Amino acid sequence: MKVLIHNSAELAQQAVADILTARILAHPASVIGLATGGTMEVVYDRLIRAIAREAVPVRDLVTFNLDEYWGLAPAHPASYRSYMNARLFGPAGIPLERTFLPVADAADPAAESDAYELRIREAGGIDLQLLGIGQNGHIGFNEPTSSLASRTRLKTLTQSTRKANQQYFGADEATPEYAITMGIGTILDARECLLLATGSNKAEAVSRMIEGPLGAHCPASALQLHPKATIILDADAASAL
């Protein structure tokens, strides 16, 4: 695990955007795994600017997102499909037919999960997987006690995760109870993993991921097993190390 600590969140976000930009410039047909959440908003903003400034070729990229809420129409404003279209794919000009998220209103979640795994394999596997981390140590929506060998599947969200994500839903709207997420095994299959965490509310999860015992109680600790994982932090997220 390579751990890089930056003085500010802005520098950490820029560092992640720079790595993505360099990767796409060097390998325009890369398969990139993408993440959502507040942490990635500035990263995508910086990436869009770099794509425009440096004429980064994005037409041959293929992307797979980590997860999607179950039971939410893709057009719902809080769906991860809406987030990705608005915050990256549209402004960056990435052809939507080359962007994949689990289909959250598919009739059969198990069949959709298996099909998602197959789509990733058929694309040649993920070259670089971008990750955030939940306050409880989740990656994707692999909540604590998820099997470290898990594959894409339907997961029940914990109350704490639903509460953390309530801000993206209307005040009178219930947050989804389930999501389809890549499994921890799926994530570990990526050739390279790049996790970004900023802010003091992530400090405890970051310390458990990096210094804690490897185990299902902190799903992100599975990255200790990955041969090429880079963790990028700001000083606040690194404050419990």
Name the residues annotated as catalytic. 67, 136, 138, 143
Beta carbon nearer to ligand GLP, 56 or 161: 161
Residue of 33, 102, 109, 132 interacting with ligand GLP (CB under 6 A): 132
**How many whole angstroms separate alpha carbon 131 and alpha carbon 120?**
17
Write down the least CB distance from residue 3 to ligand GLP, Å. 17
**How many whole angstroms separate alpha carbon 96 and alpha carbon 134?**
27
Write down the least CB distance from residue 44 to ligand GLP, Å. 12
Beta carbon nearer to ligand GLP, 56 or 155: 155
Sign of CA dihedral 195, 198, 203, 205: negative
Q: Which of 196, 201, 202 is nearest to 229 (CA)?
A: 196
Judged by CB under 6 A, the chain residues 144 through 173 that form the site for ligand GLP are 161, 165
Number of neighbours of residue 4 by Cβ within 10 angstroms: 14
Judged by CB under 6 A, the chain residues 49 through 68 that form the site for ligand GLP are 66-67
Write the binding mask 30 to 49 for ligand GLP: x where contact by CB under 6 A, - elsewhere: -----xxxxx----------
Beta carbon nearer to ligand GLP, 25 or 103: 103
Residue nearest ligand GLP, Cβ-based: 132
Retrieve residue 106's tokens. 């598919």
